[in-house]
């Protein structure tokens, strides 16, 4: 007889992926609804002369992406994404967003028909016709399954250390949202379920761009007032962007963890801010790609890619001038304008909302 236990699988094993594996692996052990084994897809690489999957399965630690934190032994690292996802009921996608489409393609037609996906990826998807879409829509269209999202003020190392924080699930289907909440919530990880999934997801993607602006301010030695102005204008542009492109947008959602909290934490603590600060200090001597390699040990910054994706969207709808912050940050990243021009471009920021 087929098991009625729900299987949860994780596709991705970076800094956040490994942290989520730690939470999910622990939660399924104490909840009789779930199968206790959690398969985690690992993009195979050699670390210290050994396969990363082998290290994780013997040492129960992702020594490259989440060193110093043990993973529960029921989390099993697997290098084959189809093997990880084919028999899962809930598939959590947690990859740098630029790798999502290629990682998902082998899963086409291979998943359980009543499975649902969950995207924790922050960024957009560029379709073959050049159009920009949400990652959750890409999953829905490509894999023919529903896709929820989880976003929030969640710097992975702090969550892995058990420090209190919150996250927001975006789910059109309340039942799936509440089931996912059981998979994720702990006494230090408080989860709220919202129905306007597009807004929850867009907030997560857009805040990384604003964080680059905050990092530029730090690198140019501007004070806290200037940085706060950049963050506030960033929030206004995020809200306007959602109002224009996602009709289900409800302003309450911007005040959940996926909105203002994630924006603040990323603008003070995240890796996008850090790389942007170094970029501004180098004053054009180094590219963002060079700094990412230099500073992040294989981790990815998502902001520059998201800035490019959003710019394609704004340009296509003739909105570049209505979003001076997002537009300027994109132009700085591709070195079309110098970083020192950021604030000049904000002086006549249009009224919003
Ligand atoms: N790290 C955080 O604090 C944090 C918090 C919340 C959300 N997120 C989001 O979670 C997502 C995953 O980020 P992360 O921090 O787990 O990753 P990461 O940047 O720490 O690690 C990069 C991952 O990408 C994998 N990878 C490299 N090349 C690949 C390829 N060609 N195909 C597939 N995988 C490849 C690596 O093996 C590694 O697992 C991102 O969208 C990020 O924005 C991260």
Query: What pLDDT, on the 0 to 100 scale, is given for residue 127?
Result: 84
The region of weakest confidence among 105-119, 202-216, 278-292 is 278-292
Beta-bridged to residue 186, according to DSSP, are 189
The ranges of the chain annotated as CATH 1.10.1040.10 are 199-346
Mutate to test the pocket of ligand 1, among 64, 84, 96 (most ligand atoms within 8 A of CB): 96
Q: Who lines ligand 1 at CB under 6 A?
A: 12-17, 43, 65, 94-97, 99, 103, 120-122, 154-156, 299-300, 302
The region of weakest confidence among 74-78, 208-212, 295-299, 345-349 is 295-299
Q: Which residues contact 233 (CB under 8 A, 6 or more apart)?
A: 324, 325, 346, 349
Find the largest Cα–Cα distance for the chain: 67
Architecture in CATH of 199-346: Orthogonal Bundle (1.10)
Q: Atom 31 (ligand 1): residue with closest C-alpha?
A: 99
Task: Report the atom number in ligand 1 closest to the C-alpha of 302.
Answer: 43
- 12 annotated to a ligand binding site: yes
Q: Whole-prediction pTM value?
A: 0.94
Query: What pLDDT, on the 0 to 100 scale, is given for residue 352?
Result: 63
Q: What is the pLDDT of residues 216-268, one digit of tens each?
A: 999 999 999 999 999 999 999 999 999 999 987 788 999 999 999 999 999 99
Question: Is the pLDDT assigned to residue 284 strictly greater than 90?
Answer: no
Q: Atom 44 (ligand 1): residue with closest C-alpha?
A: 16
Residues, the chain: 353
Question: Is the pLDDT assigned to residue 353 strictly greater than 80?
Answer: no
Query: What pLDDT, on the 0 to 100 scale, is given for residue 250?
Result: 84
Residue 1: pLDDT band by 50, 70, 90 thresholds? Answer: low
Task: Report the atom number in ligand 1 closest to the C-alpha of 95.
Answer: 12
Marked catalytic residue, from 22, 39, 64, 207: 207
Average of per-residue pLDDT values in the chain: 95
Residues 51, 52, 53, 59: is their CA dihedral positive or negative?
positive
Residue 2: pLDDT band by 50, 70, 90 thresholds? Answer: low
CATH says 2-195 is which class? alpha beta
DSSP string, 239-282: HHHHHHH-TT--GGGGGSIIIIIHHHHHHHHSHHHHHHHHHHHH
Average pLDDT over residues 51-65: 98
Residue 26: pLDDT band by 50, 70, 90 thresholds? Answer: very high
Query: What pLDDT, on the 0 to 100 scale, is given for residue 281?
Result: 95
Mutate to test the pocket of ligand 1, among 300, 304, 305, 309 (most ligand atoms within 8 A of CB): 300
Centroid of ligand 1 to alpha carbon of 317 (angstroms): 30
The ranges of the chain annotated as CATH 3.40.50.720 are 2-195
Query: What pLDDT, on the 0 to 100 scale, is given for residue 3?
Result: 77
Contact 88, 113 (CB under 8 A): no
Pairing label, strands 8-11, 38-41: parallel
- 303 annotated to a ligand binding site: no
Contact 147, 136 (CB under 8 A): yes
Q: What is the pLDDT of residues 142-196, one digit of tens each?
A: 999 999 999 999 999 999 999 999 999 999 999 999 999 999 999 999 999 999 9
- 299 annotated to a ligand binding site: no
Q: Quick check: helix, strand or coil at residue 260? A: helix
Burial class (CB in 10 A: 0-12, 13-18, 19+), 142: middle
Query: What pLDDT, on the 0 to 100 scale, is given for residue 300?
Result: 83
- Higher per-residue confidence, 168 vs 351: 168
Q: Atom 40 (ligand 1): residue with closest C-alpha?
A: 96
Give the C-alpha separation, 261 to 267, whole Å.
10
Task: Report the atom number in ligand 1 closest to the C-alpha of 102.
Answer: 32
Beta strands in the chain (DSSP E): 8-11, 38-41, 46-47, 50-51, 75-78, 90-93, 116-119, 124-126, 132-134, 146-151, 165-170, 189-194
Average pLDDT over residues 264-277: 95
Structure tokens at 31: 């909840």
207 is catalytic: yes
Beta-bridged to residue 151, according to DSSP, are 168
Beta-bridged to residue 41, according to DSSP, are 11, 78
Give the C-alpha separation, 304 to 298, whole Å.
16
Centroid of ligand 1 to alpha carbon of 123 (angstroms): 12
- 15 annotated to a ligand binding site: yes
Question: Is the pLDDT assigned to residue 129 strictly greater than 90?
Answer: no
Task: Report the atom number in ligand 1 closest to the C-alpha of 52.
Answer: 37
Centroid of ligand 1 to alpha carbon of 331 (angstroms): 25
Contact 312, 132 (CB under 8 A): yes
Contact 12, 94 (CB under 8 A): yes
Question: Is the pLDDT assigned to residue 212 strictly greater than 90?
Answer: yes
Query: What pLDDT, on the 0 to 100 scale, is given for residue 130?
Result: 79
């Amino acid at each position: 007889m087929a098991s009625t236990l729900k299987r949860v699988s994780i596709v991705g094993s970076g800094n956040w992926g490994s942290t989520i594996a730690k939470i999910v692996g622990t939660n399924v052990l104490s909840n009789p609804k779930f199968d206790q084994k959690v398969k985690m897809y690992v993009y195979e690489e050699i670390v210290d002369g050994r396969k990363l999957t082998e290290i994780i399965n013997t040492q129960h630690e992702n020594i490259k992406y989440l060193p110093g934190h043990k993973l529960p032994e029921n989390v099993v690292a697997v290098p084959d994404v189809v093997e990880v996802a084919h028999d899962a009921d809930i598939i959590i996608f947690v990859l740098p967003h630029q790798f999502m489409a290629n990682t998902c393609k082998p899963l086409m037609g291979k998943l359980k028909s009543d499975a649902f996906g969950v995207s924790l990826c922050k960024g957009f998807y560029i379709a073959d016709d050049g159009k920009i879409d949400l990652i959750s829509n890409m999953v829905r269209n490509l894999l023919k399954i529903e896709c929820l999202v989880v976003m929030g003020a969640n710097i992975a190392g702090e969550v892995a250390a058990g420090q209190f924080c919150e996250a927001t699930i975006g789910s059109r289907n309340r039942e799936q949202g509440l089931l996912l909440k059981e998979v994720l919530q702990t006494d230090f990880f408080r989860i709220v379920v919202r129905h306007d999934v597009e807004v929850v997801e867009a907030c997560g993607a857009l805040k990384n761009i604003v964080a680059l602006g905050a990092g530029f301010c730090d690198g140019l030695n501007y004070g806290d007032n200037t940085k706060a102005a950049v963050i506030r204008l960033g929030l206004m542009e995020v809200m306007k962007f959602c109002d224009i492109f996602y009709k289900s947008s409800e302003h309450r959602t911007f005040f959940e963890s996926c909105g203002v909290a994630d924006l603040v934490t990323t603008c003070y603590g995240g890796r996008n801010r850090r790389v942007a600060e170094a970029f501004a200090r180098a004053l054009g001597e180094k590219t963002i790609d060079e700094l990412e390699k230099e500073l992040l040990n294989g981790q990815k910054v998502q902001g520059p890619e998201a800035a490019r994706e959003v710019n394609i969207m704004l340009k296509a709808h003739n909105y570049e001038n209505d979003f001076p912050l997002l537009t300027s940050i994109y132009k700085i990243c591709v070195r079309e304008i110098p970083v020192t021009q950021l604030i000049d471009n904000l002086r006549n920021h249009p009224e919003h909302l």
